[in-house]
Amino acid sequence: MLKYASRGERIGDAFNYVVLALIAAAMFFPFFYITMISFSSLADFLRSDVIFWPQQWVLDAYRYIFQSHAFRQSLQISIFITIGGTLVNLAFTSTMAYALTRPHFGRRALLLGVIFSMLFSPGLIPSYMVVKELGLINSLWALILPGAISPFNLIVMRQFFLSIPDEVTEAALLDGANEVQIFWKIILPLSKPALAAFALFYAVGHWNSYFSAILYLNDPAKWPIQVVLRQIVILNQPNAALGDTQFMLEHQPPPQTIQMAAIIVATLPILLVYPFLQKHFAKGVMIGSVK
């Protein structure tokens, strides 16, 4: 369709390709480098060179962090919160999103209420008080319930349900089905791909979240992986975080390799779902941009 107008444009094109490649390389480099270091051995560090490639690939760091009870436990908690939290998200968001597509008394007020909640927030402390008054401090539910619905996702999902032709619902209503049955037996099965996309986004959010845990959980035994990761890497206290036994302290690989391995383990689930995310997200964002 488009033809090159001049040789100058062809050079411009080549320049564009090269610069994009450099940008992508710069963005990818940290992941690459951290992966490499996480597999490096003590010998690599003693060479005191800039390491780009381990001379000797070892799993010491990974073996070490998985020996830690605290680390394994934090992974379990993160998995629980991610799965449980996403199920709650989907249940709450999809029922309300669908109900808001049906004509009913007070719908306008509800929609306004949802939108207002996106524009104004009373801040951290009142929300914290509510969680506290509900007795959820130190409970994993505090990481799930306060974010049960993302208003933005709710509106995007409602937009998606609105795109399902009305005839489907009307026909079922004439056949004597009620709205709950229609939602469960017709709408949900029709929306599986969309729900999968929302599930992925919610799940990534749960896996990555750390602040609610810092806010609401005082008991380190309940910390999810991101909080433990913060302690290992950012606060630079791998020993305190991993709760070493004497054995572990004596057989410790270089701390950098431990820190980098912990980062890789915490990122791996994201990398695993990334291809699926990618398939969905462009569509999702576009639905969202059509306000």
For residues 141-200, which are near other proteins according to CB under 8 A?
145-146, 148-149, 151, 154, 178-180, 183
CA 274/CA 204 separation, integer angstroms: 10
Out of 74, 86, 169, 226, the residue judged to bind other proteins by CB under 8 A: 226
**Angle at 144 (CA atoms; ends 153, 198), nearest 5 degrees:** 30
Residue (236 or 245) nearer to other proteins, CB = 236
Q: Which of residues 100-119 bind other proteins (CB under 8 A)?
A: 100, 102, 104-106, 110, 113-115, 117, 119
Nearest-approach distance from CB 66 to other proteins, in angstroms? 18
Q: Which of residues 200-219 bind other proteins (CB under 8 A)?
A: 204, 207-211, 215
**CB distance 227 to 5 below 8 Å:** no
Residue (156 or 260) nearer to other proteins, CB = 260
Nearest-approach distance from CB 160 to other proteins, in angstroms? 16
CA 253/CA 239 separation, integer angstroms: 12
Out of 7, 123, 167, 250, the residue judged to bind other proteins by CB under 8 A: 123
Query: Residues in the chain, how many?
Result: 291
Out of 46, 53, 121, 189, the residue judged to bind other proteins by CB under 8 A: 121
Binding mask 256-285 vs other proteins (x if CB under 8 A, - otherwise)? x--xx--x--xx--x---x--xx--xx--x
CA 153/CA 145 separation, integer angstroms: 16
Binding of residue 241 to other proteins (CB under 8 A): no
Q: Which residue type is seen at 119?
A: L
Out of 124, 168, 221, 240, the residue judged to bind other proteins by CB under 8 A: 124
Nearest-approach distance from CB 49 to other proteins, in angstroms? 7
Residue (139 or 247) nearer to other proteins, CB = 139
**CB distance 237 to 257 below 8 Å:** no
CA 52/CA 228 separation, integer angstroms: 27
Residue (148 or 196) nearer to other proteins, CB = 148
Residue (194 or 266) nearer to other proteins, CB = 266
CA 148/CA 155 separation, integer angstroms: 14
Closest among 29, 287, 27 to 154, alpha carbons compared: 287
Q: Which of residues 51-90 bind other proteins (CB under 8 A)?
A: none
Nearest-approach distance from CB 42 to other proteins, in angstroms? 16
**CB distance 93 to 198 below 8 Å:** yes
Token couple for 150: 């993302």
Out of 13, 83, 193, 237, the residue judged to bind other proteins by CB under 8 A: 13
Residue (186 or 204) nearer to other proteins, CB = 204
Q: Helix, strand or coil for residue 96?
A: helix
Helix residue ranges per DSSP H, 2-147 = 7-38, 42-46, 60-67, 69-99, 107-119, 124-133
